[in-house]
Structure 1
């Protein structure tokens, strides 16, 4: 089955860096899991609230507009049987595999919040952020 992003998801990609948008669009075409764009760009107030609630750990978030005016991060939520399986990390990992493969295919340097150090493991991370994907600048 081929999935498509909803208008809501597409609107959440506004102000997200074009390279990251291209990866998301490629991923939705090849994914075996439907997904939603949960967040793209954030305001300082939204980021402060996320830190306060513990869903983010930094005010130096790549969701905030960067020097080029774009967010360099996006949160994707798997959509399974009409719901987001928040407690099923394996589903987030499967979605991450699709995103990371799409990024490699397109030559985009990206990391996933379930493997910040990009060593292929999630069990050594202090903060797991399964929905989070961000561009890596070199």
Structure 2
């Protein structure tokens, strides 16, 4: 363990809610799987393009307000999408959230359209 966020990941966190940035910083240090931030704050145009491409189902994404991020697992310097990696990363995010007292939602816990790379601040505490 002992991973840290790259300069590129930190740039992708610009405009993201400070509580979520703090979670990502702690989660990377706790995670047994290295990861990078692939996306944070999105424009409406980017979100609309993702909906058109079928990569998202909503134009009301939490990414539009800086309340969500996506990550990608890194293994031996390569991005990996293998599902078993993402619950391990999620456990680190959840541990960081518990330690910081910040409610989060992991896309991998969703019943439909599970989204393992997605983490967002819970709407109940962060409308």
Q: TM-score, normalised by structure 2?
A: 0.93
- Which residue of structure 1 aligns with residue 49 of structure 2? 49
More strand by share: 2
- Which residue of structure 1 aligns with residue 21 of structure 2? 21
Q: TM-score, normalised by structure 1?
A: 0.86
Question: What's the CA shift string for 1:95-128, capped at 9, x where partnerless?
Answer: 1111111111110010000113xxxxxxxx2101
* Residues 21-100 of structure 1 mapped to structure 2, 5 A cutoff: 21-65=21-65, 71-86=66-81, 88-100=82-94
Unaligned runs of 5+ in 1: 66-70, 117-124
Shift of 1:26: 0.5
Q: After the TM superposition, list the runs of 4 or more consecutive aligned residues in structure 1 that deviate by more than 2 angstroms.
A: none
More helix by share: 2
Provide the alpha-carbon RMSD of the alignment.
1.0
**Distance between the aligned counterparts of 1:54 and 1:113, measured in 2?**
16
